[in-house]
Structure 1
């Protein structure tokens, strides 16, 4: 096994056997194995995730638990148990690793990574959720299930609004199970790409919630990816074929049929249905995984297979990832802490008041908070004395609140730092 080099990108894969390892890292330039993550069982379909630039996360294929490894170690993180209420069918996390989102049957669970607290339990699907996706900025995430429904959720609203956690968008254009989803670039105004066994690949615009186009193929679809320019769409089928669609030449109507005999847009090498698709950051290389156990690295222009990475069983995940420094670091320098996951929601009255810290909204300009004139403006000279006194009273109350918040923050930080020192 070779050492991880300074490659800008690496490939992460997993298969359904988990015999030699649960997940592996490969060099996309020559297909050589760089490192493995083992001492756990096989991972579930498309549950392999990167937790920021520090850890690899995956869901057990048969048991109600998650596995986590440091990027630079083949052994799981010690003394951490990530148990769930049931077997996880789909898994994703925010790009910065702060939150973990998983589905168990029809339910969605959201945990805060650094505390392990279960922040939300969402129920809207009628059948098991089979795939999850999240925007590049982590503001929105989508869930899709065997019921053919696609829900787009606000992460902020899901973890803060306990009374009304309704989704931002509800799409019901598929009439069979949705098998894969992918968000483009643009955050809350990005596009969402979905594929289903009903042979449709749908593209939605999140700003308006409109269905932009529906591409209809002649066979069921199982995987989807779009390049970073969002100019080329790739979909994988149950037959093993991969189709390439030019999005710079949209159809005149919402629906467009794609012929299966058009060799100019097809990638053919897999023997059975495609389970994973990914594109390199330079948009020149396509990665595909299949139930035939093969992971192919393609040149997109020539549509030729450059390298093939053989697996012992059906491929459950295959994607390009940034070649983080922690992949080759002798000592891991994580950006976040990981705690044991809670399995039930805490009631509000069970939370200790000293553990709650009020944080000023990020949308507020910090300069305004420190500028007295921003509070009173020009009203001091124009209002009468009674209104002035009331305004001064309000300002004093706010100063008092800020002092209390500062004291709570200091107490909370000092307690955790001392606790960490004692643990060491």
Structure 2
């Protein structure tokens, strides 16, 4: 049975004296399916918004108003390393073995956790990098300065230290701080979309590779966070007044594509919310959508973790009360792509260029199992071997190498015989002509 789980982080002191909740617990791992439960807790961590990242083996958590990253081992459930960086961290994103950090001064720090290599960009943002979205080829960074930068990830990871790290493009349609970013995972440049939320009470859908704003959406109050459907069919927004909005991209009145009846420059007013956070919980500060897009998880500043059924749009159900401000909801991928290696440990980052080691565990044998090995290790005759044998009997018999050599020799001998017969016939004809001439 597949188990779906997600991580939730909290920030700040406990809201009340509740002995049922551990005071030093900062990150919780919850199981959503088949039944909701708390499977693990990671202690002594206070994680701000957009500062939690989860891999198959580790959890990376930036600390509130600090320049440190706590690295936790998921298998052991304890803190494995503490990494100190030169600037305070405001946002975190993870892509495979690369951790991307946004700083208070507007820089990006790229850290290869499997080797320790670190790349730092200039301060391209005027203010702090508030949120980061990542794809295998691009990084998208939003800032309190209202700008969004698009970066080429392969260029940032170049080994040549002389390359200048500059944004590939800048998206500057917003007029206030960027609060949240979400990006689709399509590799087609025509369908790659990114959605940004800003305190100017708007969300913009971008084709970030082309630098084009596809649609502007206006909300009654400032959006605090958003989450994109796994198939990029819709996205969900939480606003300052506690409302939750569901924006369908390809509904009856499509916002994108050829079915859209309006120009992309036309702003759309979004006014009808599908739900509202309870007053005692406060507006949702973080959102997460499960793998099939049917359940929305929201975290609230008064410790509530709520579940919303997106298929029925029914009222919320409380999953947990963590007695502290909930800042991040991070779903663990249900099915991860197969990888030939897995990092055995996290290497702390270092500055400068030098040789570095890569230590990993092999995911499989170096030599694949042979056909004979499969037959030897199986009970009886394998089914595929029997099928191949039956098909071989049904096919017409082919000439082996010996038969081909004999046939070639026969053809050469027949050619010699035919030449001798032709010569004999020609000689006999001349003899007949000479005898008739003498007569």
Alpha-carbon distance between aligned partners in 1 of 2:182 and 2:130, rounded to the nearest angstrom: 13
Contact map agreement 1:221 1:236 (CA 8 A) in 2: yes
**What is the correspondence of 1:73-222 to structure 2 with a 5 Å cutoff?**
73-77=76-80, 80-94=81-95, 96-135=96-135, 138-160=136-158, 162-187=162-187, 189=189, 190-222=192-224
Report what 2:54 is aligned to: 50
User: 1:63·1:87 contact (CA, 8 Å) conserved in 2?
Assistant: yes
SS at match of 2:293: coil
- Residue by residue over 1:72-110, the C-alpha shift from the partner in whole angstroms, topping out at 9 and shown as x without a partner, is 222111xx331111221111121x123443424311111
- What's the counterpart of residue 302 of structure 1? 312
C-alpha distance after superposition, 1:96-135 (max 9, x if no partner): 1234434243111111212222223232101111111111
Q: Which residue of 1 aligns with 2:417?
A: none
Shift of residue 259 of structure 1?
4.4
The farther-off stretch of 172-181 and 15-24 is 15-24
Count matched residues: 328
Aligned to 2:74: 71
Q: Distance in 2 between matches of 1:356 and 1:60?
A: 28
Structure 2: gaps (5+ residues): 14-22, 359-439
Q: Using CA pairs below 8 Å that are at least 6 residues apart, which structure has the higher relative contact order?
A: 1
Kindly provide the CA deviation profile for residues 217-242 of structure 1, in whole angstroms up to 9, marking residues without a partner as x. Answer: 11101111121222212111011111
**Aligned mates of 1:300, 1:307 — CA distance in 2:** 15
Q: Structure 1 CA distance, aligned partners of 2:25 and 2:203?
A: 34
Q: Distance in 1 between matches of 2:357 and 2:311?
A: 55
Query: Is 2:329 the counterpart of 1:318?
Result: yes
Change over 3 Å in CA distance of 1:169–1:247 after alignment to 2:
same
Distance (whole Å) between structure 1 residues aligned to residue 335 and residue 72 of structure 2: 14
Q: Which residue of 1 aligns with 2:62?
A: 59
Closer/same/farther in 2, CA of residues 146 and 115 from structure 1, 3 Å limit: same
Q: Which moved more, 1:210-219 or 1:107-116?
A: 107-116
Q: Which residue of 2 aligns with 1:20?
A: 24
Change (3 A) 1:340 1:112: same
Secondary structure at the aligned position of 1:219 is classed as coil
1:337 aligns with 2:326: no
Residues 340 and 259 (structure 1), Cα distance of their counterparts in 2 relative to 1, 3 Å cut: closer
Normalised to the residue count of structure 2, the TM-score between the two structures is 0.70
SS in 2 for 1:175: coil
Q: Which entry has the higher C-alpha Rg, 1 or 2?
A: 2
Q: CA RMSD in A?
A: 2.4
| Distance in 1 of aligned mates of 2:345 and 2:211 | 36
**Dislocated runs of 4+, deviation >6 Å:** none
Tell me by how many angstroms 1:300 deviates. 0.3
- Return closer, same or farther for 1:356/1:54 CA change in 2, 3 Å cut-off: closer
- Provide the C-alpha distance between the structure 2 equivalents of 1:159 and 1:316, rounded to a whole number of angstroms: 30
In 2, the alpha carbon distance for the partners of 1:186 and 1:258 equals: 27
Q: Deviations over 1:280-327 (max 9, x none)?
A: 1111111111223211111102222244321212211013213589xx
**Structure 1, gaps ≥5 residues long:** 1-5, 326-332, 358-424
Distance 1:334 1:293 in 2: 35
Taking the aligned partners of 2:180 and 2:137, their CA distance within structure 1 comes to 19
1:34-64 C-alpha deviation (Å, 9 max, x unpaired):
11111x331122211113x111110111322
Quick one: structure 1 residues 302 and 65, their matched pair in 2 at CA, closer, same or farther if it must change by over 3 Å? same
* 1:64 to 1:301, Cα distance in 2 relative to 1, 3 A: same
